[in-house]
Amino acid sequence: MTSSTSSTIAINGYALRWGRKLMNLTPAALADLIGRDRTYIVKIERGAVTQVSTETFDRLVEGLALEDRRALMAFPHASEVELANAG
């Protein structure tokens, strides 16, 4: 049995798409930038994937050059504990 303490963050797919377009990136370009597959980016943007690993979340924040990581969070007004766990 696996532990239920996996480190994932609820992500806002619409915000990801908005940020990606502001940076003039295609889904494929963003995927290459963060080392993921294009289809994974598209699934997040469409809402088929709503939780990502903290590593992927960090890469997305860095790839989009965001100053505030809450911009991509599905629940940006999360508790301080959740924000601390998000990096």
| 6-46 pLDDT, tens digit each | 599 999 999 999 999 999 999 999 999 999 999 999 999 99
Number of domains in the chain: 1
- Asked if residue 12 is part of any domain, the answer here is yes
- Asked if residue 37 is part of any domain, the answer here is yes
Q: What is the pTM of this model?
A: 0.81
| Torsion sign over Cα 76, 81, 82, 83 | positive
Write down the pLDDT at residue 75: 84
Q: What is the DSSP letter of 53?
A: E
Write down the pLDDT at residue 86: 59
Q: What is the mean pLDDT of the chain?
A: 88
- Asked if residue 84 is part of any domain, the answer here is no
Cα distances (angstroms) measured from residue 5 to each of 53, 57, 76, 86 = 12, 17, 21, 14
For 37, the domain range is 8-75
- Asked if residue 2 is part of any domain, the answer here is no
Q: How confident is the model at residue 5 (pLDDT cuts 50, 70, 90)?
A: very low
What CATH number is given to the structural domain containing 60?
1.10.260.40
